[in-house]
Amino acid sequence: MTQDTRQHPLFQPTRIGDIDVANRVVMAPLTRSRADEAAGDIPGSPMNIEYYRQRSNAGLIISEGTQVSPVGKGYMATPGIYSDAQVEGWKPITAAVHEAGSKIVAQIWHVGRITHPELTGGAEPVGPSAVQPKMVAYTRKGKVDMPTPRELSVDEIRQVVDEYRRGAANAIRAGFDGVEIHGANGYLVDQFLRDGANKRTDAYGGSIENRARFALEVVDAVVAEIGAGRVGIRLSPVTPSNDIQDSDPQAIFGYLVQELDKRGIAFIHFVEGATGGARDLPGFDFAWARKAFRGTYIANNGYTREMALQAVESGAADAVAFGRLYIANPDLVQRLKLNTGLNVPNPQTFYTFGEEGYIDYPSLDKAA
């Protein structure tokens, strides 16, 4: 039987929390290191606007990670969401996306221990505990080992929670439709969740409830600021990215998913497996999570067209996020509808500051 997939539910409008979207294809958050670093990590250059405008066929765009404070930055030239100049910088991007009929949420991000003073304006990296990640940072001075972070005090934790809240308020001011809290890939929220990085003995460490406290305080602060219907979170329960480990992912992420469900947030965006790698890692039951969480389940990690059609058709996911395919295929929705060939992303230009590999991938109309 041949099916005209242009009518497939993957391409039909739906609602993600309070956000009406034109289809169930999501552009995953993608660090591209093209903000104006010298000016203060400000987005909104003509090429930044063009990059997002080209990809505004996705029902929902999740922005590249955008740090909520200078010490929350872990890579060169990533944009922030804490200064007024950054808010102004984002405005033409969100306007261009809306003009093209898409929606966009800001991924609000704190890297915690995954950084180096070369990237934070000299500030010492912080984390739940003084556990050094076995990772190197890429700086303008080359590759350097990441140092042991300083353990955050309870007072400082309160301040960081407030930075996420302000980031969310700024995102709305900048014209975003909502936010995605970056709870994945071994950054600060994930560092609190997992026992490999969190060795605290106070209210933020030890038990499942204590390790989930920071994540839930961030969620609650952001929800109080902008409303649950505009808040999502990205989780990667089994990824080993950025030297993160946990002895029992099902226990901590199972509890977290149930608590998120109680709060009625718009979506959970799951990285199923090792981020950018194997999907079949043990340790967490994603099918269980799909049932336990009544909001929108956005699936991610190595999805092909066939997998995405199948996931939405079977109900395994409400929407599917594509990362690398969106780097190389600005018109991805059209290509998925028509089942055409796909451009192949070039990893050499993922983080190279310029227009090459950023706004020069051809669309079908140009490729013909």
Residue ranges binding ligand 8OZ (CB under 6 A): 31, 65, 75, 184-185, 241, 275
Handedness of CA 249, 255, 260, 261 (dihedral sign): positive
CB of 242 to ligand 8OZ, least distance (A): 7
CA angle, residues 159, 160, 162, in degrees to nearest 5: 65
Closest to 94 (Cα-Cα) out of 75, 81, 112 = 81
Q: Which is nearer to ligand 8OZ, 184 or 309 (CB)?
A: 184
DSSP category for residue 320: E
Q: Which is nearer to ligand 8OZ, 10 or 327 (CB)?
A: 327
Q: Which is nearer to ligand 8OZ, 56 or 241 (CB)?
A: 241
Structure-token pair, residue 102: 């898409």
Output the CA–CA distances (angstroms, integers) from residue 264 to 107, 318, 359, in the order listed: 19, 16, 37
CB of 350 to ligand 8OZ, least distance (A): 7
Q: Alpha-carbon distance 144 to 193, whole Å?
A: 26
Quickly count: other Cβ atoms within 10 Å of residue 255's Cβ.
17
CB 349 within 8 A of CB 359: no
Tell me whether residue 361 is one of the annotated catalytic residues.
no
DSSP category for residue 169: H
Structure-token pair, residue 199: 């060795």
Handedness of CA 293, 297, 303, 309 (dihedral sign): positive
Backbone angles phi, psi at 103, to 5 degrees: -125, 155
Q: No. of H helices and E strands in the chain?
A: 11, 14
CB of 185 to ligand 8OZ, least distance (A): 4
Overall size of the chain counted in residues: 368
The SS3 call for residue 52 is helix
Q: Which is nearer to ligand 8OZ, 23 or 78 (CB)?
A: 78
CB of 337 to ligand 8OZ, least distance (A): 28
CB of 85 to ligand 8OZ, least distance (A): 22
CA angle, residues 49, 82, 102, in degrees to nearest 5: 35
CB of 186 to ligand 8OZ, least distance (A): 8
CB of 323 to ligand 8OZ, least distance (A): 9
Q: Which is nearer to ligand 8OZ, 131 or 135 (CB)?
A: 135
Chain-centre distance for alpha carbon 96: 20
CB 171 within 8 A of CB 89: no
Contacts of 237 (CB under 8 A, 6+ apart): 249, 250, 252, 253, 270, 283, 284
Q: Which of 52, 187, 297, 326 is catalytic?
A: 187
Q: Which is nearer to ligand 8OZ, 54 or 275 (CB)?
A: 275
Q: Which is nearer to ligand 8OZ, 65 or 273 (CB)?
A: 65
Output the CA–CA distances (angstroms, integers) from residue 134 to 137, 144, 148, 186, 241, in the order listed: 10, 11, 10, 12, 11
Q: Which is nearer to ligand 8OZ, 94 or 241 (CB)?
A: 241
CB of 327 to ligand 8OZ, least distance (A): 11
Residues known to be catalytic? 187
